[in-house]
Amino acid sequence: MALVVSDRIQETSSTAGTGTLTLSGAVTGYKTFSTGIGNGNTTYYTIFDSTANVWEVGLGTVGAGTLSRDTVLSNSSNTTSLISFAGNTINVWCDYPATRSVIQDASLNGTAPQIRASNGLLVNSATVSANYTLATGDNAVSAGPVTISSGVTVTVSSGSIWVVV
């Protein structure tokens, strides 16, 4: 199935141990994982036990009223092991972990730890239609041929390289 991230997904659970969570229903104002993510799909999650002050961030699979904890990305013990929850009421929500995120700043510049095209194709426009300055120390690659629109300037700063392949 698909990796799905959705807004306003939060449920509670009182599952103890390290296994699949049995979800108890949406927190007021939120949707369930089954409704917002869909059964059989994977999603990023955060679990927080405010009584024991422990948490876990990971990737899990949504089932009918359940969330399996498939891969732990980080936790309150600074490991990637499953946290053994005590059976207190815990909050579980759909999250977007920083280590897996693509971030776009106010200038629409994107950053990511790594970009991978699951279909094997990274696509770029064949036309540069806005002025762009490649910052010192940054490099760029484009698949060509590339046309630079009339009146548009691409500036490659000292110490930088732009390669068109």
Whether 109 is in a domain gets the answer: no
Across the strands, what pairs with 118?
Answer: none
Let me know how long the chain is: 165
Q: How far is CA 97 from the centre of its chain?
A: 5
Closest CA to 22 of 58, 79, 63: 63
The reported pLDDT for the residue numbered 146 is 94
Q: Note down pLDDT in tens along the chain; length 165 residues.
A: 899 999 999 999 999 999 999 999 999 999 999 999 999 999 999 999 999 999 999 999 999 999 999 999 999 999 999 999 999 999 999 999 988 888 888 888 787 777 777 788 888 889 999 999 998 998 999 998 999 999 999 999 999 999 999
Q: Which of 99, 134, 155 is the last residue of a domain?
A: 99
pLDDT value at position 117? 79
Give the residue among 91, 50, 87, 47 at the shortest CA–CA distance from 69: 47
Report the domain count for the chain.
Answer: 2
Gap between the Cα atoms of 65 and 62, Å rounded: 8
- What pLDDT does residue 104 have? 85
State whether 132 and 93 are in the same domain. no
CA distance 3 to 152: 38
Predicted pLDDT at 157: 94
pLDDT the model gives residue 1: 80
Q: Is residue 158 part of a domain?
A: yes
Q: What is the pLDDT of residue 153?
A: 95
Instruction: Let me know whether 26 and 81 are in one domain.
Output: yes
pLDDT computed for residue 76 by the predictor: 98
Please state, in angstroms and rounded to a whole number, the distance separating the CA atoms of residues 20 and 138: 44
Structural domain contains residue 107:
no
**DSSP code of 78?**
S
Pair 71, 132 in one domain:
no
Q: What is the pTM assigned to this prediction?
A: 0.73
Residues 25 and 94 in one domain: yes
Segments forming the whole domain that contains residue 157: 118-164
- The verdict on 146 and 94 lying in the same domain is no
